[in-house]
Chains A and B, each alone.
Chain A
Amino acid sequence: DSGVTQTPKHLITATGQRVTLRCSPRSGDLSVYWYQQSLDQGLQFLIQYYNGEERAKGNILERFSAQQFPDLHSELNLSSLELGDSALYFCASSSQNTEAFFGQGTRLTVV
């Protein structure tokens, strides 16, 4: 158990809908990262937060947004969903100079 919790584990939704994925980081970790992994693809960096502030942005679509709350949990919002958004979404957390610990991921299926 990495200590990073993601909910839900699975999500099936229709095209055009909006969903929210939730992540609770390890106790004490201030950084939260979001990654997308499509079938048989590598991890694509979406966005990073540090202590509530956006720190780095990757190839995150405008339809996607995220935030980190004062209690350090984070949410990734995906809207106007398309079939191609079907993927595993991972959240990871870390301290300043340590490795990232990953949650088990949310498997999103858009039908």
Chain B
Amino acid sequence: GQNIDQPTEMTATEGAIVQINCTYQTSGFNGLFWYQQHAGEAPTFLSYNVLDGLEEKGRFSSFLSRSKGYSYLLLKELQMKDSASYLCAVRTGGFKTIFGAGTRLFVKA
């Protein structure tokens, strides 16, 4: 079957760095996405990886290893507003996009 795993919850301190991991097993692979979702709101796009390596975008970076079925999202200089759920999603061989259950990040002062 198809499976995406992420930790359920993480807590980090304002100003720190946090890494949210995602592992996946899917039939085919056409890219991995990270989204941020505040409670009750629509997910918003953060990053996209289709080749192995690191993509950096401001305070956010995302890494992909296709051979390991593994990705992580790195958030630097954490701010209180970064408290949200972070969703890992994989676009499969059939161009269906499947989401993980999300990691709820709590940023404390």
Contact = CB atoms under 8 A, between A and B. Distances in A.
Interface of A: 2, 31, 33, 35, 41-45, 48, 50, 55-56, 58, 88, 90, 97, 99-105
Contacts of A50: 95
SS class, residues of chain A in contact with chain B:
strand
A48 B99 contact: no
Interface residues of B, number: 21
A99 B45 contact: yes
B8 to A, nearest CB: 10
Contacts of B31: 97
A45 B42 contact: no
B13 interface: no
Contacts of B41: 104-105
A101 B97 CA distance: 12
Contact of B44 (A45, A48, A102): A102
A48 B101 contact: no
Given A42-B87, A43-B87, A99-B33, A58 B96 contact: yes
Contacts of A35: 99
Contacts of B53: none
B60 interface: no
Interface of B: 30-31, 33, 40-45, 48, 87, 92, 94-102
A42 B42 contact: no
Given A41-B101, A43-B87, A99-B48, A55 B43 contact: no
Nearest to A42: B101
Closest 8 CB pairs of A and B: A42-B101, A56-B96, A102-B42, A43-B99, A99-B45, A42-B102, A56-B94, A102-B43
Contacts of A42: 87, 99-102
A31 B98 CA distance: 14
A103 B44 CA distance: 10
Given A101-B45, A102-B43, A45 B97 contact: yes
A104 B42 contact: yes
